[in-house]
Amino acid sequence: MTDKPTNGALLARIDERTNAIARDLDGVKKDIHALRKDNKDQYVTKDQFAPVQRITYGLAGSILLAFLAGLVKMIGWR
């Protein structure tokens, strides 16, 4: 004979697990809120990023120009 749990026992287990998941979810929400609060000061504004963007685009453009110049010289266009 197998002992099957009753419907009431199954519902009680499901309810207990649901409550445990809800508690864990509340903890995760609090952790995420704390992380966002801590990281708020670490964001970079557009004004702070503009010089970095200009330097990066300038270097990438220089590298591309040098590559294209070498390619043109290798092919022999003039």
Query: What is the model's pTM?
Result: 0.46
Number of domains in the chain: 2
List, as one string, the DSSP characters of the chain.
---PPPHHHHHHHHHHHHHHHHHHHHHHHHHHHHHHHHHGGGPPPHHHHHHHHHHHHHHHHHHHHHHHHHHHHHHT--
Q: 5 and 36 in one domain?
A: yes
33-70 residue pLDDT tens: 988 888 877 778 888 889 999 999 999 999 999 999 99
Residue 3 and residue 19 share a domain: yes
Task: Give yes or no: residues 38 and 54 share one domain.
Answer: no
The alpha carbons of the chain give a radius of gyration, in whole angstroms, of 31
Buried b vs exposed e over 28-46: b needs ≥16 C-beta within 10 Å?
A: eeeeeeeeeeeeeeeeeee
29 and 2 both lie in a single domain: yes
Same domain, 20 and 50: no
- Judgement on whether residues 13 and 51 belong to the same structural domain of the protein: no
Domain that holds residue 26: 1-43
